[in-house]
Structure 1
Amino acid sequence: MNIVKSKGNGVEKSLSFEEQKAKINEVREILGPMVNMLPNLCSDASVSRYLRARNWNVEKASKMLKESLKWRLEYKPETIRWDDVAHEAETGKIYRADYLDKNGRAVLVMRPGFQNTSSSKGQIRYLVYCMENAIFNLAANQEQMVWLIDFQGWTMGSVSIKVTRETAHILQDYYPERLALGILYNPPRIFESFWKVVRPFLEHKTYKKVKFVYSDNTESQKIMTDLFEMDKLESAFGGHNPAGFDLNKYAEKMKEDDQKMSAFVESASSVFFQEQSHVSVLQPEFSVTEHQLESSSDSSPSSDAESPRRVDTKILSANEMKEQPNCKNTIAESGVSRPLIHMNDFA
């Protein structure tokens, strides 16, 4: 039996696998027809992350997931490509490392002192691109990543409070339970004042995942040796790897990933249309509007209702259409043959 610890109203409780599954199904019932329109964003793994982020409170998790789905419909993060954000990446202020931690988790390196643009929208767009790419490259048995934040060159003017607040909002509300650990490496003394301002933006669960590490502190440096193979870790973080960020090599890697992402999005759309064609023979056609994302959807729209605007079906994320390795490539669900969904869906 799989037991999950959860704190509700300050009291810790245990959830069995059956109880978890029941709550996941409750969320799906609240979402209503949205589950059919966006099945991959409402997978067990995805819904479970939202429930964990809200301590298994079904109503709060449902509201959170609705807002995330609405954001993905409007922002379309899976359509961002390297050429759209390459200018933001020139200094290496955010990039996916070419090594993993000892647990096999992806590593995102952030260097806020290397800020090179003034557009908050552009900065957030690049952050979202990096998150989507990191999730896309997670191993099949991983859901979370590690953030390494290097404070070299950081000053109070490096990042605005506005961007910091928006960053916390996006990462916590639209990518819940994606952070395993956030390491703040060598923050200067002046950062203490900044930290007091931004700390209220962080939820308690996020705050507990943040660790301060100083190169001249043996005890805190042990966090790095416990977490990383030092021969692979960059020297900027106390490792033995002298290689740093190489824009040209990184651009090549991102463009290759973009091609894979595009292929998966196209595949997702193809599967969606095939599935909808099959379902239309069995039941009345329905569609989901953005208005329904904002309201409680407990019933399907009536057949004589005014025909709403259709949602762009290409919002399905690339990673959501990956087939689970070492498993049969399809499962039967409601009479429809569908690819097994990779656990690392983007929501």
Structure 2
Amino acid sequence: MTAEVMAQEETQTAEVVAVAVAVAEPQKEENVEPKESSVDESKPKVVEKSSSYKEESNFLSDLKEFEKKALSDLKSKLEEAILGNTLFEKEEPKKEASEENEGEEKEVEKKGVCLWGVPLLPSEGSEGVDVVLLKFLRAREFKVNDAFEMLKKTLRWRKESKIDSVVDEDFGSDLASAAYMSGVDHEGHPVSYNIFGAFESEELYQKAFGTEEKRSEFLRWRCQLMEKGIQKLNLKPGGVSSLLQINDLKNSPGPSKKELRIATKQTVAMLQDNYPELVAKNIFINVPFWYYALNALLSPFLTQRTKSKFVVARPNKVTETLTKYIPIEEIPVNYGGFKRENDSEFSSQDGAVSELILKAGSTATIEIPALEVGNSLCWDLTVLGWEVSYKEEFVPTDEGSYTIIVQKGKKMGSQEGPVRNTFRNNEPGKVVLTIENNSNKKKRVLYRYKTNKSSF
């Protein structure tokens, strides 16, 4: 690989990463030492929620003294600015308006200053005002004046750009494959997926970035995605007040795309200036090998707060990494999870996912009872990292009946997706799923099943 090509690849990755960094004011991840367990790992158990990371507390009682003082000072500044009608001081007053009308407009402005649905006048006592203001303070390391200026600029930008109405704008369906919201993580954070490879399509690329007008529309669409994500948050103390962001770098377009570079820089500026502390974690998946070399170069320029929010996964570790943060039933099937669009078999109300640990060189079976004739059984199963042998059989209760092969045995490679299958039994028995681990590593098996009773 030539130095020129490597430089181009590094530029590309830096720009792609920058979009995610823009809204990433990170949160530290706990390092938990593994402990020897006395529980038999081979026995199935219900998957429990992970506590791998939590949001910083927004309860006043949990803040440090200097943080409480900064919050109090910012609220005082904000109250004074709203009541004094100086929050939008750069705007020229309407000369044609009468004094009476001006007074009415000022009163409306005082009462109507909101951000993300939260009234900002501190004396009104909204539950969410502390949560919103703490985001700006944390983004500016609790420097009150800097946080106040950032807040004022954000409010002006939203008013001038009419951001409050962007959620109702129709941008068509062309960009739906480039970014979307889907499911929640273990802590309840809504999950946002950014698919950079979507712009490998020249047709979509031109629709998004072909002209300055289209790039402006792309920015508003990106804004709309953030606003819709924020609508899913609970901006109150103790509520989930940030998103989890997944950045898929597979097939990212090359750095020679000038229009993409321009749009990326504009997106970076917009997100980092106007959406502070709204991403709890940034997970990069399908990361190419040269990302690590670039990361080593960029690392000295990133704060520890920013770096602690990054998680990186190579292509063969995507599902394993995502399950640390997101329940397998909330991960889309194309990333190794159980979530399928318009799923007619499983719903969020169906049974919890179970797991078992398959030790190296061992075999495990999962039995799905089918005691009533005519029922339809359905199951999802995946083995993280696969590289096992797998088969499915129906074993009748009557010893004189023959075992039915549902799925003949096969070796499952490391890139296999989750298995879904169904079976309708004509006699009492059970479906037996057999996983044989001939590797020298233990495997994590995740599965769920349900029985649809016959209506006859």
**Structure-2-length-normalised TM-score:** 0.45
User: 1:31, 1:66 within 8 Å by CA — same for their partners in 2?
Assistant: no
The CA deviation at 1:206 is 3.8
How many residues get paired? 232
Whether 2:143 is the aligned partner of 1:57: answer: yes
State the AA in 1 paired with 2:220. Answer: R
Corresponding residue of 1:36 = 110
User: 1:165, 1:198 within 8 Å by CA — same for their partners in 2?
Assistant: no
The CA deviation at 1:171 is 1.7
State the AA in 2 paired with 1:188. Answer: P
- Note the alpha carbon deviations across 1:105-164, whole angstroms, 9 max, x for none: 111111011122223212211110000011112245221001111123213247723222
- Give me the whole-angstrom Cα distance separating, in 1, the residues matched to 2:67 and 2:282: 29
Corresponding residue of 2:134 = 48
- Aligned residue among 134, 147, 150 for 2:245: 147
State the AA in 1 paired with 2:251. Answer: G
State the AA in 2 paired with 1:96. Answer: M
Whether 2:187 is the aligned partner of 1:103: answer: yes
1:321-336 correspondence to structure 2 within 5 Å: none
The CA deviation at 1:234 is 1.1
User: 2:196, 2:248 within 8 Å by CA — same for their partners in 1?
Assistant: yes
User: 2:283, 2:310 within 8 Å by CA — same for their partners in 1?
Assistant: yes
State the AA in 2 paired with 1:94. Answer: A
- Residues 77, 224 of structure 1: alpha-carbon distance in 2 compared, 3 angstrom cutoff: same
1:307-346 correspondence to structure 2 within 5 Å: none
Corresponding residue of 2:69 = 19
User: 1:112, 1:151 within 8 Å by CA — same for their partners in 2?
Assistant: yes
- Aligned residue among 285, 288, 304 for 1:185: 285
Secondary structure in structure 2 of the residue aligned to 1:184:
strand
1:199-218 correspondence to structure 2 within 5 Å: 205-217=305-317
The CA deviation at 1:167 is 1.9
**Structure-1-length-normalised TM-score:** 0.58
- Residues 216, 53 of structure 1: alpha-carbon distance in 2 compared, 3 angstrom cutoff: same
Corresponding residue of 2:18 = none
User: 2:185, 2:330 within 8 Å by CA — same for their partners in 1?
Assistant: no
> Greater CA radius of gyration, 1 or 2?
2
- Give me the whole-angstrom Cα distance separating, in 2, the residues matched to 1:178 and 1:74: 22
- Residues 89, 155 of structure 1: alpha-carbon distance in 2 compared, 3 angstrom cutoff: closer
User: 2:167, 2:227 within 8 Å by CA — same for their partners in 1?
Assistant: no
- Residues 186, 168 of structure 1: alpha-carbon distance in 2 compared, 3 angstrom cutoff: same
- Residues 59, 133 of structure 1: alpha-carbon distance in 2 compared, 3 angstrom cutoff: same
User: 1:184, 1:213 within 8 Å by CA — same for their partners in 2?
Assistant: yes
- Give me the whole-angstrom Cα distance separating, in 2, the residues matched to 1:54 and 1:23: 14
- Note the alpha carbon deviations across 1:168-226, whole angstroms, 9 max, x for none: 22222101110101111112235568878998997764443222112424xx8654222
- Give me the whole-angstrom Cα distance separating, in 1, the residues matched to 2:306 and 2:264: 14
User: 1:68, 1:173 within 8 Å by CA — same for their partners in 2?
Assistant: yes
The CA deviation at 1:38 is 4.4
- Note the alpha carbon deviations across 1:74-93, whole angstroms, 9 max, x for none: 11122124653125424x10
Secondary structure in structure 1 of the residue aligned to 2:172:
helix
Secondary structure in structure 1 of the residue aligned to 2:329:
coil
1:211-230 correspondence to structure 2 within 5 Å: 211-217=311-317, 222-230=320-328
User: 1:96, 1:108 within 8 Å by CA — same for their partners in 2?
Assistant: yes
Aligned alpha-carbon RMSD (Å)? 3.3
Secondary structure in structure 2 of the residue aligned to 1:231:
helix
User: 1:147, 1:182 within 8 Å by CA — same for their partners in 2?
Assistant: yes
Bigger shift: residues 208-217 or 50-59: 208-217
More strand by share: 2
Q: Which has the higher contact order (CA 8 A, sep 6+)?
A: 1
